[in-house]
Structure 1
Amino acid sequence: MAISRFLKMKSCITRSKFQAKEAAKEEDGVLATNYNVSMEDLPLPILVDVFSRLPIKTILQIKCVCKTWHSLCSDPYFAKIHLARAPFSIMILEKFCKRIYTNSLVPLFTLNQGDKERLSLLSSCNGLICLHEFSYKQDIISVCNPILGDHLVLPQLKRKNVATRIRGFGYNHCTNQYKVIQILSYKDQAAISSSKPQVEVHTIGTNTWRNIGDLPYVLNQPYYGAFLNSALHWYAHSHDKRTAFMCSFDLGDEQFRQFPGPPTREYEKCRPINSISVGVSGGFLYLCDGFLEPNLDIWIMKKYGVKESWTKEFVI
């Protein structure tokens, strides 16, 4: 049952209970303000409103009270409301013990404790975090929900002779789908009948990876893409290394496109792989340039997709 319909039904039922109690007590000559009200008498919309303002540690505790509260706190609708109201917080990742804590050192969950794989954070989106476990024998990607204290292990993408992997994690609001992409460069590209890196996409909730073809550019920023507005973003250059630019990957139609970068000619030249980084902060796309140079320039795109809105905010 969808939570929206459940909220309406529960609200109507609870309102009827209140009315019946009030009428019965008025008949007995007792003022309606004198009777006791327990938590189970509260309308469900009020419970949602109250619980969505609680810290994660408390939510993990109230989930154990009863089945109704467990179902309520496990619903994606509740997670969305809680995320919208939650204050900014920091999560602490313990790489080798594979534990994740809140900024108050409250343990949220542990992944495969005892194994020797190293755990790293790939990205986060709408309160979910994408983690990577890597060892010589296996390469595991997990998507975790800190509120539920649970995680989903994605099917392994078994490919041999992979030289590099670039990944991205994000959400498409039109289809209400979360997706993970991997861009694979092989040690011997000729062995896979293609001279370009391959793009693999996994939709959360399915059991397979889909190959959607060649990567049209060379991505300079390693490891992961910056997620904003249903798209992943990188700094890239053409395969002939003559031009450089920003690009985006639309999680809806699953297409790569060039994206407007800072309005200056110097960003059209190919740069060292670690000299430019693209990220998201406070809901804005930013570009850091100059990691290998004396000065570090930080550009921020004030209006998404508008080239003229790029502003150089800091020079460090």
Structure 2
Amino acid sequence: MESLPQEIVLDIISRLPIQSLLQSKCVCRAWQCLIQDPVLVHKHLCRMEKNDPSIILQSDHPIDSELYLGVLSCQNDGNYNMITKKLPMPPLLRKFYLSGSSNGLICLLDSYQKLKPFIYNPFTGNYLDLPDLPKRHDTRILGFGFAPTTKEYKVVELSFSPWVRFDQVDPPFEADVHVLTIGSPTWRNLGTVPFYFMRRKYNHHVLINGKLHWVSHPTRNRTTNLIISFDLATEKFEEIPLPDCSSSNSNLAKEGFGQVAVLRGCLSALCYEDENEQLEIWVMKEYGVKESWSKEFSTGVFVPKIMLEQEDPGSFFNSKYYLHQRQTGVLCLLRSGELLLEYRNKALGIYDPKCRIFRDVQFIFEGIPKFRAVLDHVTSLNWIDSTSLVNIANG
């Protein structure tokens, strides 16, 4: 291999699975330096982004706050298994919230240490504990992502009072905003913004074009939900234009979108149609262009088999209405063209839009049978110290 040009060697090695690359670091010092080469890390990440993403699962019972890696496996009969493997955890991190993923790095919020955030690569084992969050309000949402123009990773904290009553004449629709650039010792206060962000069981945001996106409740001047973006480079908030809806009876016209997602690199959003019991998935094919919104998918109601087995099938909380109304999320669009869905952080399902059928995803666990949070994730060699983060981004 010494006779080959360096760029060819890196191209060949970048095709290996991450487990093989990590094992190769133990061969010798030269291999260790090679595996840590920023060019290799960048090449490997780009290849992984073209594959179906892996899934990060946070356990709920019987052991709380452990991480698992889930990899989808399609069987000969067309059904899917989710093969899971327990991931190592940073030392002294006992209980946490799973707050986001970017370029193979995940953001964790330690609920014991004064809500202290961590950035962690569960495959390399590297982690970085960040400065404590500013103490403002009890309810807080974190966003984590990479700004490609400035080559910086940032964590954004949105905090607000949980006691807003929407029947008030003049409710306090605002959130305090703090930003931390990875490598900086302190959080910066950006003031307040006039939005009241939706908070799911885990902080759900998406990153696209260097911008974080959340759904916000209606404001004083708007009667429907809003999609709000935050540009990690300019640190400015902006409302994303929503599609015009000709049907005044539709939920999209009355309420707006309930969740956001990224499907094949496009900003996507979910709307729940009560009358027809449909989950509508809209895709913004040209980012920022209102006219490019298109309704790409419309699914019916599905209750995963595992949820019927674990809970009382006749209860309201396990009914089709309750599941479909607010508890179905879209994780990603697979290369097969099928949608990977999650249900109340308790089960996964596959929807085939061509055949219009649902399939359960059968879990194969090492040990933990239930989880509380789930997000899609790209496995990466990305290092966790601030100097390496900048170098890898430039690679």
Query: 236, 244, 248: which is aligned to 1:255?
Result: 236
Q: Does 1:77 align with 2:39?
A: yes
Detail structure 1 runs of 4+ shifted over 4 Å in the superposition: 104-108, 265-271
Q: Which residue of 1 aligns with 2:357?
A: none
Alignment of 1:124-135 (within 5 A): 124-135=101-112
Question: What is the alpha-carbon root mean square deviation over aligned residues?
Answer: 2.9
Q: Which residue of 1 aligns with 2:322?
A: none
Q: Which residue of 2 aligns with 1:13?
A: none
Q: 1:155: how far off?
A: 1.5
Q: Which residue of 2 aligns with 1:29?
A: none
Structure-2 change in CA distance of 1:94 and 1:219 (3 Å): closer
Contact 1:167 1:182 in 2 (8 A): yes
Q: Which residue of 2 aligns with 1:185?
A: 160
Q: Does 1:285 align with 2:285?
A: no
Other structure's SS at 1:131 match: strand
Higher helix share: 1
Other structure's SS at 1:84 match: helix
Other structure's SS at 2:138 match: strand
Q: Which residue of 2 aligns with 1:93?
A: 57
Aligned mates of 1:243, 1:268 — CA distance in 2: 9
Structure-2 change in CA distance of 1:93 and 1:165 (3 Å): same
Q: 1:143: how far off?
A: 1.8
Q: Can you list the C-alpha shifts for 1:85-144, whole angstroms capped at 9, x where unaligned?
A: 12324244353363444636555532236x541x44322222222223324x53232222
Contact 1:108 1:149 in 2 (8 A): no
Structure-2 change in CA distance of 1:109 and 1:59 (3 Å): farther
TM (normalized to structure 1)? 0.74
Contact 2:146 2:154 in 1 (8 A): yes
Aligned mates of 1:52, 1:315 — CA distance in 2: 38
Q: Does 1:138 align with 2:114?
A: yes
Query: 271, 287, 299: which is aligned to 1:304?
Result: 287
Letter in 2 for 1:144: Y
TM (normalized to structure 2)? 0.60
Q: 1:181: how far off?
A: 0.4
Alignment of 1:38-187 (within 5 A): 39-86=1-48, 87-95=51-59, 96=64, 98-101=66-69, 103=71, 105=84, 108-112=87-91, 116-117=94-95, 119-135=96-112, 138-159=114-135, 162-186=137-161
Aligned mates of 2:7, 2:18 — CA distance in 1: 19
Percent same amino acid among aligned pairs?
37
Structure-2 change in CA distance of 1:229 and 1:128 (3 Å): same
Residue segments in structure 2 that go unaligned for 5+ positions in a row: 72-82, 165-171, 300-395
Q: Which residue of 1 aligns with 2:356?
A: none
Contact 2:11 2:40 in 1 (8 A): no
Q: 1:290: how far off?
A: 1.4
Aligned mates of 1:304, 1:215 — CA distance in 2: 23
Aligned mates of 1:54, 1:169 — CA distance in 2: 28
Contact 2:68 2:86 in 1 (8 A): yes
Q: Which residue of 1 aligns with 2:80?
A: none
Q: 1:236: how far off?
A: 2.3
State how many pairs are aligned.
Answer: 267
Structure-2 change in CA distance of 1:48 and 1:109 (3 Å): farther
Aligned mates of 2:39, 2:161 — CA distance in 1: 41
Q: 1:200: how far off?
A: 0.7
Letter in 1 for 2:241: P
Greater relative contact order (Cα < 8 A, sep 6+): 2
Letter in 2 for 1:98: E
Q: Which residue of 2 aligns with 1:203?
A: 181
Query: 213, 234, 245: which is aligned to 2:191?
Result: 213
Q: 1:188: how far off?
A: 8.7
Q: 1:47: how far off?
A: 2.5
